[in-house]
Amino acid sequence: MNSETSTTTYFVIYFALVALTLATCGLSFVPHFEWHTSVGLAIASAKVVLIALFFMHLISSTRLTWLALLSGLLWLSILIGLTLADYATRAVLSF
């Protein structure tokens, strides 16, 4: 039960998250920028990392917590990986 993170840190992270949100939305209005989806998802991942590390206090969490999270992500990667390995290597569905 530690309280190392200060209130200031929370506000800094918050404004970073707001800025990244505005960036994500703004990117889709830039003409001729085909990569805006991938960049948008990369920005979303960055936001999630910030939320997880600071708001969910992962940065000051025990190794047990990290284990729970990483296990979940491992199973998620199996879900996504094996599913897409199937569908991405098949013929186009007709519907």
Residue 11 as a binder of another protein (CB under 8 A): the answer is: yes
Three-state secondary structure call for residue 13: helix
Residue 76 as a binder of another protein (CB under 8 A): the answer is: yes
Residue 63 as a binder of another protein (CB under 8 A): the answer is: no
What distance lies between CA 59 and its chain's CA centroid?
A: 16
Ramachandran sector of residue 31 (left: φ over 0; alpha: ψ -120 to 50; beta: rest): beta
Q: Which two tokens stand for residue 71?
A: 């296990």
Report, in Å, the least distance between residue 90 CB and another protein. 10
Report, in Å, the least distance between residue 6 CB and another protein. 9
- With beta carbons less than 8 A apart as the criterion, state whether 40 and 27 touch: yes
Query: Count of residues binding another protein (CB under 8 A)?
Result: 54
Could you say which DSSP state residue 5 is in? S
User: For residue 62, which amino acid is it?
Assistant: T
Which residues of the chain form contacts with another protein (CB under 8 A)?
Answer: 1, 3, 5, 7, 10-11, 14, 17-18, 21, 24-25, 27-34, 36-37, 40-41, 43-44, 47-48, 51-52, 54-57, 61-62, 64-65, 68-69, 71-73, 75-76, 79-80, 83-84, 87-88, 92-93, 95
